[in-house]
Structure 1
């Protein structure tokens, strides 16, 4: 009984520590007209509002949708809390949250004959309600005097990877570079973000979002784009973000880009 109690206590303590870590991300929101979006934001250590800092917007997957303004930090939130990351790359990190009944990208989802989801990405089209709010939130935040507009980045995983592609084509002049993990897009949209440096990741055994989506985009970009990197993890399933976040060159590559 003592061992069981000790195990439960340790698990609760670990969860408490994790929650404490995420408390370093302040809560924020953007509400204007019909737009409403909540986010968590991490400022650099010793933040000085008279200085200018890079900004990273990170888009979560469908499993982290909701209204608690917390779940979106589950994947990726810890990466930017690491001491070495905060010292090497002092930046403002923003994790917006998509509502439970919405989606970042404009995509039609349906099961195939095997019961797996297929994604039909819209070419062009109107943004979802969440994307509309996100676009305007980004524009509004970039008006702040402490933002370095030459170093604005976006990244995302799964649904957030899809949202990243869409945000890039809707605001192509905003971002200096981007990363997408296990995402996808209609390849006809590539022309709109072909000049933005991209690092695309996917798991070769992904049974949620077919790696063929990322492969098609990367292959097309290699012929028309300015800079594209593609990393396929042969044995990874949908959680290829674990491998991507562990890439030692990920953040040096991202922050190494400045908008021309």
Structure 2
């Protein structure tokens, strides 16, 4: 009987417990929501049950839920939404149990954005080109292509094919992408239409004994406006790659005609110039001593025959010709107004000879024929020497990136703005404008260990992605911003004497398919006229000497016993910016010297 009563009592307790408290129940489930990209979304839930009720919102992109910190109210507010198809649920609990709501899905409504922009191109007269884009965003997306600001009738897809191009088709192309949530405009793709390579006049230069140099020449049409008081014309020298060596006097322009962008139909009117493409003998390279002697004589002969502006000679080359371009700068550093080496290599120990020549260098990080490190070393050496090179490094494309490089918008304008001995300030570029005027060529005196610098960036499309400053003397560096107008405080520490400060801005490479960056450079010399600051402190039985450190040369700590009549001695080489010494009896004075 006692056992039966015990069981009855247990049953009664269970029934009583159930009757006194009710587990939570979802009364109103959260609904799926949609919100514009960057907008706000609200989810709500209603629950009943014995209080107190506790609520926690959870979120997931996959199968694992995570709690949203602080989301414990019946209404969940999400701001600046970015990720679509994310799921949310509310978990409600009390002492009697827990219940989870249905999964509510957030759909982010996105206006179109371009993940791949149209690529600029250089095409031969009569041939065609395809332009295409890739976009993200909520579908459906509508497209409209434009040419020089006018809508192209019927071209309403993500790609367009332009057949049989002639001079009238040369210009700027872009596309707009639209959906009900917004619209976006692509970057501009410049299509340059060049004459057929066969139209360039075939010639042979025999002005150097023992050398017969075939070449192709383009001369502006009679009546074309020149660049000087006597109708002088700029001249572009193009050096081909190894595969075009020979005597056929055609492959040097036929294999990579994109170098002829300087004489596209539009550029013939805007920038009349001479374009010359010699052909290197099979047994030689452009860097052979006799070729480096012959090329300036070749240019001089052209200058004697045609009205050439000798202050506007430009050299460009690819692969073997890129190497030749660097070497021509080395042996004739005052001959050219600008240079455009591509996929080449030079001697970084010789850049001081031509550091003031404007240079726009191109290379690909994936080049297995001429490794990209050759260009990286040349550009870094130029920066340290005080040059202002532009460097485009593509992420892909291998060795043969030249077609895309010559199609770079703004390249022709940048090149032809340069004049020998006068570096033009044209975009793309970066300038340090403070603490010295733009283009200061003398060290700026300062009397502080750190200094503020500021300046401006000009690009051809996007804002710069990063700007960094460098003290090439002490090897310190830091961030300087990512906007057109940039400034940074506390550049330093400066070493006593002249410190070369550089800035490098990274921006779009202008090659959508290849990716990568274009880097712009400037530099300024600061003369820190404050003495080297030495700090002494005691550490037990040792004396610690601290100093700024860094810079070139060998540094020594010298000691003297009498400051009135110092006899400096006891030289200790300083390998790092601090040294500890045993404390000796009597007075001691210290100084740091550099040799």
TM surpasses 0.5:
yes
Instruction: Find the counterpart in structure 2 of residue 68 from structure 1.
Output: 248
Answer whether contact 1:181 1:201 (CA < 8 A) is retained. yes
Conserved? CA contact 1:36–1:133, under 8 Å: no
Which string of whole-angstrom CA distances, capped at 9 and with x for unpartnered residues, describes residues 174-200 of structure 1? Answer: 111110000001211212211211111
| Residue in 2 that maps onto 1:22 | 197
Q: Does the aligned pair in 2 maintain the 1:55–1:152 contact within 8 Å?
A: yes
Q: Post-superposition shift, 1:77? A: 4.7
> How has the CA–CA distance of structure 1 residues 47 and 169 changed in structure 2, closer, same or farther, with 3 Å as cutoff?
farther
State the match for 1:190 in structure 2.
351
Q: Mean alpha-carbon deviation: is it higher for 29-38 or for 249-258?
A: 29-38
Q: Give the alignment of 1:13-162 within 5 angstroms.
A: 21-32=196-207, 33-46=209-222, 51-73=231-253, 74-75=255-256, 76-106=258-288, 127=289, 129-144=290-305, 146-162=307-323
Distance 1:148 1:209, change over 3 A: same
- Structure 1 window deviating more from structure 2 (59-68 vs 133-142): it is 133-142
CA distance in 2, matches of 1:23, 1:81: 14
Shift of the alpha carbon at 1:78?
A: 4.2
- Going from structure 1 to structure 2, the CA distance change for 1:57 and 1:47 (only over 3 Å counts) comes to farther
Pick which of 81-90 and 64-73 moved more: 81-90
Q: Summarize deviations over 1:5-42 as a string: whole Å, max 9, x none.
A: xxxxxxxx97xx9xx81232111222132333121011
Range 92-101 or range 82-91, more displaced: 82-91
How many residues end up aligned between the 2 structures? 224
Larger Rg: 2
**Structure 1 length normalisation: TM-score?**
0.79
Q: Once the 2 structures are TM-superposed, how far is the Cα of residue 101 of structure 1 from its aligned partner?
A: 1.3
Task: Tell me the TM-score normalised to structure 2 length.
Answer: 0.36
CA displacement, residues 185-234 of structure 1 (integer Å, 9 cap, x when unaligned): 12112122112111110011011110100010001101114321000001
Which residue of the partner structure matches residue 180 of structure 1?
341
Higher strand share: 2
Q: 1:150 to 1:231 in 2, by over 3 A?
A: same
Contact residue 292 and residue 331 of structure 2 kept, 8 A: no
Task: Decide which structure has greater helix share.
Answer: 1
- The 2-side partners of 1:78 and 1:162 are apart by 19
Q: Could you tell me how far apart the structure 1 residues matched to 2:298 and 2:252 are?
A: 16
Maintained 8 Å contact 1:37/1:133? no
For residues 145 and 26 of structure 1, the distance between their equivalents in structure 2, rounded to whole angstroms, comes to 14
Change (3 A) 1:78 1:137: closer
What SS is found at the alignment partner of 1:178?
Answer: strand
Alpha-carbon distance in 1 for matches of 2:414, 2:397: 22
Aligned partners of 1:169, 1:29: CA distance in 2, in Å?
26
* Residue 145 of structure 1: how far off its partner (Å): 5.2
Contact 1:154–1:178 (Cα < 8 Å) also in 2: yes
Q: Could you tell me how far apart the structure 1 residues matched to 2:269 and 2:204 are?
A: 27
Equivalent residue runs for 1:2-21 within 5 Å: 21=196
> 1:32-88 CA deviation, whole Å, 9 max, x = no partner?
323331210111233569621000001000011100111110213542442112222
